[in-house]
């Protein structure tokens, strides 16, 4: 899984939370692509490409984005094929809830289809 946020801190903290909530064992790979290379706020295509390469273990990569240019950047990279050979999918899910459900599902052995279904459930889960 790759987390694309405008903020390095938000992406890293969300990845840490998702890892912590997977429980015991070895979590599936998660990489954060937050902010610009200099640490400022923004979205970096180069950081997204590096994060996808880091997270790719051959089973597919799910990408969650926070908003705006993060989504547009990932869509552009998918369209131009520059995210490598991985079966990479952007998902429409809330950033934190989607990250947790994706990582828990993948860490429990779920395949790409199961992870996509879990993130879809996270998108529609109501709190009240």
Burial class (CB in 10 A: 0-12, 13-18, 19+), 33: buried
Query: CA quadruple 104, 109, 111, 113: dihedral positive or negative?
Result: negative
**Cα–Cα dist 18/62, whole Å:** 14
**pLDDT per residue as tens digits for the range 82-110:** 997 779 999 999 999 999 999 999 999 99
61 DSSP β-pair partners: 88
Q: What is the pLDDT of residues 21-68, one digit of tens each?
A: 998 788 999 999 999 999 999 999 999 999 999 999 999 999 999 999
Burial class for 106, CB neighbours closer than 10 Å (0-12, 13-18, 19+): buried
At residue 60, the pLDDT reads: 92
Q: State how far the Cα of 115 lies from the Cα of 29, in Å rounded to an integer.
A: 13
What's the pLDDT at 53? 95
Q: Rounded to 5 degrees, what angle do the CA atoms 45, 50, 56 make?
A: 125
Q: Where are the beta strands (DSSP E) in the chain?
A: 2-5, 31-34, 61-65, 88-90
User: What is the share, in percent, of the chain residues with pLDDT greater than 90?
Assistant: 88
Q: What average pLDDT does the chain have?
A: 94
């Amino acid at each position: 899984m790759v987390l694309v946020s405008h903020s390095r801190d938000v992406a890293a903290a969300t990845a840490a939370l998702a890892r912590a909530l997977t429980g015991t064992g070895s979590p599936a790979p998660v990489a954060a692509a937050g902010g610009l290379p200099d640490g400022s706020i923004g979205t970096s295509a180069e950081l997204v490409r590096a994060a996808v390469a880091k997270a790719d273990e051959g089973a597919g990569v799910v990408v969650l984005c926070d908003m705006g240019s993060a989504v547009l950047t990932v869509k552009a990279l998918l369209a131009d094929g520059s995210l490598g050979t991985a079966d990479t999918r952007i998902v429409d899910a809330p950033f934190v809830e989607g990250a947790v459900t994706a990582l828990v599902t993948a860490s429990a052995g779920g395949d790409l289809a199961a992870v996509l279904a879990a993130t879809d459930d996270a998108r529609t889960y109501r709190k009240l």
